[in-house]
Amino acid sequence: MDNFDAIVIGGGHAGCECALALARLGKNTLMLTISLDAIGFLPCNPSIGGTAKGHLVCEIDALGGEMGVCADKSAIQIRMLNRGKGPAVYSLRAQVDKQLYHNNMKKTLEENLNIHIKQAEVDEIISDGKSVYGVKTAQGEIYNAKAIIICSGVYLKSRIIIGEYTKNSGPNGFSRSENLSDSLKKLGVDLRRFKTGTPARMNGRTIDYSKLCVQHGEEDIQTFSFMTTVPPKNVRDCYLTYTNEKTHEVIRQNLSRAPMYSGVIKGVGPRYCPSIEDKIVRFADKTRHQIFLEPEGLNTNEVYVQGVSTSLPVDVQKKMYRTIEGLENAEIMRDAYAIEYDLIDSTTLYPSLMHKTIQGLFFAGQINGTSGYEEAAAQGIIAGINASRFLEHREPLILKRNEAYIGVLIDDLVTKGTNEPYRMMTSRAEYRLHLRQDNADKRLTPIGREIGLVDDKRWQKYQEKQQQITKIYEILNTKFKIFEIKDLYIEKNESVPTTSQTIKKMIKRPNIDIFDVNEKFHLFDQFSKRALEYVNTEVKFEGYLNQEEEDIQNFKKQENMIIPKDIDYKDLKGLRIEAKQKLDKIRPSSIGQASRISGVSPADVTILIMYIKSMR
Amino acid sequence: MTDTIAQISTPLGSGGIAIVRMSGDDALKIAHKLFYSKKLQNSEITPRLLYLGDFQLNDATEKCMMVYFKAPYSFTGEDVVEFQIHGGEYLATKVLDELINAGAVLAKNGEFSKRAFLNGKMSLDEAEATIDMINATSDAEINASSRLMHGKLFQKVKDVQDELKDALANLEVALDYPEHDDETQSIESVKQTLKNAVLTLKQLDNTHENGKKIKFGVDVAIVGKPNVGKSSILNALLNEDRAIVTDVKGTTRDTLKETISYKGLKINFIDTAGIRESEDIVEKIGVEKSRKSIEESDIVLFVLDSSEDMDDEDIQLEKTIDKRKLVYVLNKSDKPQKLSIDGAIYVSAKDNKNIDQIFEEILKKTRFDKIDYSELQITNKRHHEALKEAIIDIEEIFSRDIKTLDILDMQIKKVWKKLGEITGETANETIIDEIFSKFCLGK
């Protein structure tokens, strides 16, 4: 029982996907976690998805991962964001029941025959600095494995800060990891420190919703998982409120007691997830900030106050929250807090997420400098796949920037690194129009199948959808006479054409889509909504997709120019010193990756290309 | 398939001959569109043979030589076509323009050598020499761009890019943070930004004309009836006895071009044949050329004899000249005066009187009297191309009536990147930084 193929340290979103990927690829996997109650835990907001994050969940699902399935099972409200802003940015977002999500995920892990779960704190990675052999727990047990994946989240030497009060602790009262940081440091792994935070939880019974704007879920909506057949029901609402001048005044008066400004916090905080005191200082001219009140679950009254994370002292928090409309009498059940934690420099990793100097040691999730459940899970599944392939002596799976948001995420991490917790955004993707939720399956399920994560059931369903798509395309060539379609054009405010039109031409009009055509002619009744949506988007945006495709072709050319692994940059005449150092540190696998390193100029890249060509 | 690239291969500056080189799959196809030779009419082109023929410029043809090197037997290893052109840099640039209009793209520094290397046409030793060259040229580029950096021109492009960046940040926030919709600009205001941007870019693009003038000079045609003293005025302007000056009508049969520099401006004087209806074939050609000179030049000095009234022929000629270019020069002010025109310059070529006024008028007309020479104009052809493409891209946004934000964003980004080719700012990160500096976002 003490020998495993792989050991996953941590049971958060990265750890869960990682362990499941390993297990589903046939690897005997041990998951060690500080607390079993922290498996699949959502320590911050009770929601999954949103812009770019929804894309990540769909991609994890398309590869055969678990997050989408679990989110669908645990959702209590679901919405599609960005409708009307274009298909590239449609983003699914679900409010989930935290307890349900945890239970569902834990159960899935427990049911898997290849996964062994043990509550234990890891103290030491057993390694000679070149390879890994196993881990030693604080309780003194030793487990052996040739692949170790560290998914420790924010638990390494973490510290909670609430005003003047600080405590060495993991999030939400879970205990922190005391010694793993030191073990990593001994192995030569560079450590850094970041900060993040979470708002207070209120008792919903004490909130006055009567004055607030309600936000309902949407019915009959797409799901995260391709495999979900019964869409989740909307059983809870969210509410909208705002901070006001009084709120800001309380904060300004107490700024000297805010740890960010009194010097208690030294870690680097995220720009996109600032505490309320940060917002007030940095955006002094704004008179109000938006707040969402989100339910934490079905069987609890707890409400998450999105938009007001803080590390102000408890007495100030209480005063501050109560200035907000609807929260005048609200009772805080959990205080807002900031948390500081150790993490690694992600540029010390290969795109496979394996450490560059220690074979078999992988890192995934917040320890790599990201923020967010979805970002963590995305790295988890890739680290799991690649740890499995490492054990089989096979080439790692590296998704390209034109293939997936996951590819963008990992490429950014290992090529550019990050100086603050990294959040996925659609703006980070160069080929946004190609990386949609509605084609995540098309992009990634064949890859997942080849890797071995996509089971027969999913594969069959996927192929059925592809067959449907082929048939839909055939039907698109059906021609209609003007008198047959005139009404539709008039009804949709489109100028009536003068010759008969194919359906393809009809749905290229901005105001007409495939569903409008079907309503009139019922040619597509037998096809699934997902298949129709996909074709509709592909046809409507054909021109722009082609335009982007040209850019992708150029991108691919550079990505396909592989840099030999053993290249010695010191020998390259003509490179500037800064470029040599950066290239030697990142050790890019392709010319494309090299060109994305900051400090490497186009002239440096040209020189690099010439050397590679000449070395052949 | 690779792009077909083109560039002037001989060093810039005046010279008797210039070579324009083209390399790539479409080189021959593009050449055939523009180059006509009798020998090529009925037979396939033979590689490595010089062909004499006519190169079709905008509205004229130019005699030149063409040679074709078939892949892989060429410098770059691709299909290569070279044109040998008389007349140096000015004509070479026109030829290059035509090649680009016909589908070639402007070659980057060292790109021919780079292709040669990539196609295995160079040894490592030679390659290293090329690398040094690329380094040198990129250094030169850095110097040039740092000079540009201080210029108002650069600042203007940068301003436009910054405005677009602002619009992009707004769009990206709308896309990435739907909950902050209320804070972002509407599509209409983004489109207004674009409208302003395209105006500024067009103004900038016009400075390209000035830039060209700085580089190649202003073309000033001297026209008028035979024997009004055009050639003597030119001589006075040049202070040299170059053109043939006689009293026999129609002796200056060909156009003649002389360049001098006045207060930093290069001026190309073009003396034209006396314009009049003629049966003499040789003279007819000259007359035709004069008409063309009037059309193509930046300024036309219309020379009249002030001792005589304007006749029908003069009035006919006056009609052919664009008023904005027109400068009346009344010669023979030493004789008794009959003619008077408002704003005209009265000179006497014979006595060298008031000749300087002609120069001042040229400066005024080209607005060079108002140009600050420390302000750099767009002289770089690549910058000009980038500007032109950016303008076209913006105009496309309006003509296509884009409805969704993601597409609008994509198209503006394209423009923004184009301008980045001038300012050097193209990274996505810059926009993301802008988002966070402008908007208060997050949980």
The H or E element containing residue A180 is helix A180-186
Task: Inspect the interface and report whether the beta carbons of B410 and A544 lie closer than 8 Å.
Answer: yes
CA angle A218, A224, A230 (to 5 degrees): 70
Does the structure show a pLDDT above 90 at A23?
yes
Within 8 A by CB and 6+ apart from A153, the residues are: A10, A12, A14, A171, A341, A365, A366, A367, A376
By CA distance, what is B433's nearest residue in A?
A: A271
The span from the CA of A385 to the CA of A417, in Å, is 22
* Confidence (pLDDT) at B149: 43
SS3 label, residue B303 = strand
Nearest-Cα distance to chain B for A333, in Å, is: 19
The span from the CA of A429 to the CA of A88, in Å, is 11
Residue B131 confidence class, pLDDT cut points 50, 70, 90: low
Question: For A88, which of B174, B406, B436 is closest by C-beta distance?
Answer: B406
Does the structure show a pLDDT above 90 at B39?
no
By CA distance, what is A55's nearest residue in B?
A: B176
* Confidence (pLDDT) at B140: 40
SS3 label, residue B223 = strand
A54 touches chain B (CB under 8 A): no
- Kindly indicate whether the domain formed by B125-207+377-437 is annotated with CATH number 3.40.50.2030: no
* Confidence (pLDDT) at B405: 86
A251: tokens are 């904060």
* Confidence (pLDDT) at B134: 53
Percent of chain A with pLDDT over 90: 81
Amino acid at the residue A67: M
Q: Is residue B336 reached through a cis peptide bond, with omega within 30 degrees of 0 on the bond before it?
A: no
| Region B5-107: CATH code | 3.30.1360.120
Nearest-Cα distance to chain B for A595, in Å, is: 11
Residue B251 confidence class, pLDDT cut points 50, 70, 90: very low
Interface with chain B: mutation pick from A401, A424, A425, highest number of B CBs within 10 Å: A425
pLDDT digits (tens, 9 = 90+) for B285-295: 556 767 777 88
Task: Inspect the interface and report whether the beta carbons of B410 and A433 lie closer than 8 Å.
Answer: yes
Nearest-Cα distance to chain B for A191, in Å, is: 24
Residue A282 confidence class, pLDDT cut points 50, 70, 90: confident
Residue B242 confidence class, pLDDT cut points 50, 70, 90: very low
A263 touches chain B (CB under 8 A): no
For domain B214-370, give the fold. Answer: Rossmann fold (3.40.50)
Amino acid at the residue B108: K
Question: For B131, which of A81, A86, A610 is closest by C-beta distance?
Answer: A610
A616 touches chain B (CB under 8 A): no
Task: Inspect the interface and report whether the beta carbons of B179 and A292 lie closer than 8 Å.
Answer: yes
- Distances in whole angstroms, Cα of residue B68 to Cα of each of B21, B40, B79, B86, B118: 10, 12, 8, 18, 21
A229: tokens are 């057949």
Interface with chain A: mutation pick from B389, B408, B443, highest number of A CBs within 10 Å: B443
Task: Inspect the interface and report whether the beta carbons of A283 and B178 lie closer than 8 Å.
Answer: no
What is residue A156's DSSP assignment?
A: B
Does the structure show a pLDDT above 90 at B441?
no
A185 touches chain B (CB under 8 A): no
Average pLDDT over residues A189-203: 94
Interface with chain B: mutation pick from A45, A247, A272, A431, highest number of B CBs within 10 Å: A272
B138: chain A residues, CB-CB within 8 Å: 601-603
pLDDT digits (tens, 9 = 90+) for B47-86: 999 999 999 987 788 889 999 999 889 988 899 999 998 8
Percent of chain A with pLDDT over 70: 97
Is there a contact between A23 and A117 (Cβ–Cβ < 8 Å)?
A: no
A610: chain B residues, CB-CB within 8 Å: 114, 117-118, 127, 130-131
* Confidence (pLDDT) at A603: 72
Nearest-Cα distance to chain B for A596, in Å, is: 9
A91 touches chain B (CB under 8 A): yes
pLDDT digits (tens, 9 = 90+) for A69-107: 999 999 999 999 988 888 888 999 999 999 999 999 999
Residue B253 confidence class, pLDDT cut points 50, 70, 90: very low
B401: chain A residues, CB-CB within 8 Å: 510
The span from the CA of B10 to the CA of B12, in Å, is 6
The span from the CA of A339 to the CA of A421, in Å, is 12
126-155 of A, contacting B, C-beta below 8 A: none
Does B62 or A62 have the greater pLDDT score? A62
Interface with chain A: mutation pick from B176, B180, B437, highest number of A CBs within 10 Å: B176
pLDDT digits (tens, 9 = 90+) for A419-436: 889 999 998 999 999 999
Task: Inspect the interface and report whether the beta carbons of B124 and A309 lie closer than 8 Å.
Answer: no
Pairing of strands B17-23, B5-8: antiparallel
Is there a contact between B231 and B253 (Cβ–Cβ < 8 Å)?
A: no
Q: How is chain B split into domains, by residue range?
A: 5-107, 125-207+377-437, 214-370
By a Cβ cutoff of 8 Å, what residues of chain B touch chain A?
Answer: 110, 114, 117-118, 124, 127-128, 130-132, 134-135, 138, 172, 174-180, 182, 401, 403-407, 410, 428-429, 431-432, 435-436, 440-443
* Confidence (pLDDT) at B1: 57
Task: Inspect the interface and report whether the beta carbons of A425 and B443 lie closer than 8 Å.
Answer: no
* Confidence (pLDDT) at B203: 79
Residue A259 confidence class, pLDDT cut points 50, 70, 90: confident
> Does this model's pTM top 0.80?
no
Does the structure show a pLDDT above 90 at A518?
yes
Beta bridge partners of B388: none
Report DSSP letters for B386-397, one per residue: HHHHHHHHHHHH
Task: Inspect the interface and report whether the beta carbons of B130 and A610 lie closer than 8 Å.
Answer: yes
Residue B166 confidence class, pLDDT cut points 50, 70, 90: confident
Cα atoms in the 13 Å half-sphere on the side-chain side of A547: 13
Task: Inspect the interface and report whether the beta carbons of A574 and B404 lie closer than 8 Å.
Answer: no
Average pLDDT over residues A485-492: 92
Average pLDDT over residues A398-418: 96
Task: Inspect the interface and report whether the beta carbons of A573 and B131 lie closer than 8 Å.
Answer: yes
Does A456 or B198 have the greater pLDDT score? A456
* Confidence (pLDDT) at B121: 72
Q: Which range, of A125-139, A203-217, A516-530, B242-256, averages the lowest pLDDT?
A: B242-256
Average pLDDT over residues B291-318: 84
Q: How does the average pLDDT of chain A come out, rounded?
A: 93
Does B380 or B49 have the greater pLDDT score? B49
Task: Inspect the interface and report whether the beta carbons of B407 and A86 lie closer than 8 Å.
Answer: yes
pLDDT digits (tens, 9 = 90+) for A331-388: 999 999 999 999 999 999 999 999 999 999 999 999 999 999 999 999 999 999 999 9
Average pLDDT over residues A514-532: 94
Task: Inspect the interface and report whether the beta carbons of B175 and A89 lie closer than 8 Å.
Answer: yes
Residue B224 confidence class, pLDDT cut points 50, 70, 90: confident
A289: chain B residues, CB-CB within 8 Å: 440
Look at the block and give the residue holding tokens 């150029």.
Answer: A554
Average pLDDT over residues A570-588: 85
The span from the CA of A234 to the CA of A229, in Å, is 16
* Confidence (pLDDT) at B376: 46
Q: What are phi and psi of B276, to 5 degrees?
A: -165, 160
CB atoms within 10 A of CB A301: 16
Q: Which range, of B22-31, B321-330, B416-425, averages the lowest pLDDT?
A: B416-425
Does the structure show a pLDDT above 90 at A447?
yes
By CA distance, what is B142's nearest residue in A?
A: A603
Going by C-alpha positions, the residue among A14, A27, A144 that lies closest to residue A387 is A27
pLDDT digits (tens, 9 = 90+) for B331-374: 887 888 788 888 888 888 877 788 888 888 888 887 665 544 43
* Confidence (pLDDT) at A29: 98
Nearest-Cα distance to chain A for B130, in Å, is: 9
Is there a contact between B18 and B10 (Cβ–Cβ < 8 Å)?
A: yes
A151: tokens are 């998914």
Q: How does the average pLDDT of chain B come out, rounded?
A: 76
The span from the CA of A12 to the CA of A177, in Å, is 14
The span from the CA of A587 to the CA of A594, in Å, is 8
CA angle A263, A267, A270 (to 5 degrees): 115
What is residue A351's DSSP assignment?
A: T
* Confidence (pLDDT) at A435: 96
B406: chain A residues, CB-CB within 8 Å: 85-89, 432-433
* Confidence (pLDDT) at A380: 98
Cα atoms in the 13 Å half-sphere on the side-chain side of A441: 21
A89 touches chain B (CB under 8 A): yes
A91: chain B residues, CB-CB within 8 Å: 178
